[in-house]
Amino acid sequence: MKCYASLAFVVVALLSVAPASAQIPSGPVTTPPTIDGAVGATEWAGAGTLALPHGTAYFLNDQTYLYVLLDVTADTTLDPLVPGVYNDDNFGIAFDANGNGSGDIDIDVNYGAFDNPPAFPRISYFADPAFCGWTGGGATSSLGAEGFGMSPAAPATNHVIWEFALLLSEISPPSTGRIGTAVWLLSVNPSFNDLTPAADLCDWANYADLQLNGFDTAVPVAGAVGLAILVALVAIVGVFVARSRLG
C-alpha cells in the first residue's frame, strides 16, 4: 500500500508533458516559515519559485531545513488526506539529492504522504534503476502541514496549501548546494495530476536545478576543525597523564 503514491506518481508522470527544466535560486531565510498550512503575507518573501500547472512551488532554506510551499491556487476544493483512503489530494517532492543528473540508489529521495501510516511527510529512496522503483514511505523528522485558505498569490480564493520543512540532513546536498527537484500534485476535485518539470521520476536530466543559497558549506568544515581541536586537547591531556605516572 505504501507504494501507491510513488506508483501513482510514476503513472501520472508518464502521462504528463514535460516542460523545459527550470533554475530555482532557493532564498536564504533568517525567519523560518511556520509549517501550519497557512500562508502569511510575507512568510515566503524572497523564496525561489517553480511554476506549476495549478499553482506555484516556493523554496527557502537555512542551514537545517529546505522549506517548501506548494500553493495550489487552482485547487479550490479540499479533498483532505484521510488515513487509509486514497481518494484525496496528494503531493510528492522528489530530489536528485546529489545533483548529478542521474539516479542513485539510497541517495536520491522523495517525500510524499503515502497515506498509510497517515503521518506525513514520509520519505522514500530511489531503489531500482531498471523499473524506476522507490522504497515505500518511511519515517522522517521532516515536517509537513496541509491547509485550505488564501495566500498572496490568490488573496480572494480558498485553495489547497502544503507547507514543509524538509531536513537537509536527510537530503544531504553536495557542497555546491545544488540539487535537482520535481514536484507532483494530485487533486480529486478538480481532477488533475501533475509532475513538474520532469517527464517522469527518472527523468533526472529535466529535474529543476535548485540552488540552496545560504547553505553554508563552511559549517561542516568548522565542525571538523572543532573535532581536530578536541582530539588535540585529549592528546595533550594524555601526555600529561602519562608523564605524571612516570614521575
C-alpha–C-alpha distance, residues 246 and 213, integer Å: 55
Asked if residue 200 binds Ca ion (CB under 5 A), the reply is no
C-alpha–C-alpha distance, residues 172 and 161, integer Å: 26
| Cβ closest to Ca ion, residue 175 vs residue 233 | 175
- Contacting residues for 159 by C-beta, under 8 A, at least 6 apart: 55, 71, 72, 73, 74, 75, 76, 148, 149, 150, 151
Nearest approach, Cβ of 171 to Ca ion (angstroms)? 11
| Cβ closest to Ca ion, residue 108 vs residue 200 | 108
Q: Which of 62, 79, 146, 200 binds Ca ion (CB under 5 A)?
A: 79
Write out the binding residues for Ca ion, residues 161-190 only, by CB under 5 A: 187, 189
Q: Which of 26, 61, 98, 110 binds Ca ion (CB under 5 A)?
A: 98
Residue 222 three-state SS: helix
Nearest approach, Cβ of 70 to Ca ion (angstroms)? 12
Q: Which of 4, 21, 34, 88 binds Ca ion (CB under 5 A)?
A: 34
Asked if residue 96 binds Ca ion (CB under 5 A), the reply is yes
- Contacting residues for 128 by C-beta, under 8 A, at least 6 apart: 105, 134
Q: Which of 31, 42, 63, 77 binds Ca ion (CB under 5 A)?
A: 77
| Cβ closest to Ca ion, residue 100 vs residue 116 | 100
- For 38, the grid coordinates are 497557512
**Which stretch in 32-40, 44-52, 132-140, 150-158 sits in contact with Ca ion by CB under 5 A?**
32-40
Write out the binding residues for Ca ion, residues 38-57 only, by CB under 5 A: 38
Q: Which of 73, 100, 116, 213 binds Ca ion (CB under 5 A)?
A: 100
Asked if residue 71 binds Ca ion (CB under 5 A), the reply is no
C-alpha–C-alpha distance, residues 138 and 111, integer Å: 9
C-alpha–C-alpha distance, residues 191 and 89, integer Å: 9
The torsion region of residue 172 among left (phi > 0), alpha (psi -120 to 50) and beta comes to left
**Residue-level length of the chain:** 247
Asked if residue 108 binds Ca ion (CB under 5 A), the reply is yes
- φ and ψ at residue 13, rounded to 5 degrees: -60, -40
Q: Which of 8, 18, 21, 104 binds Ca ion (CB under 5 A)?
A: 104
Asked if residue 76 binds Ca ion (CB under 5 A), the reply is no
Angle 126-120-80 from CA coordinates, rounded to 5°: 120
Q: Using CB under 5 A as the criterion, which residues of the chain lie in contact with Ca ion when the complex forms?
A: 34, 36, 38, 75, 77, 79, 89, 96, 98, 100, 104, 108, 187, 189
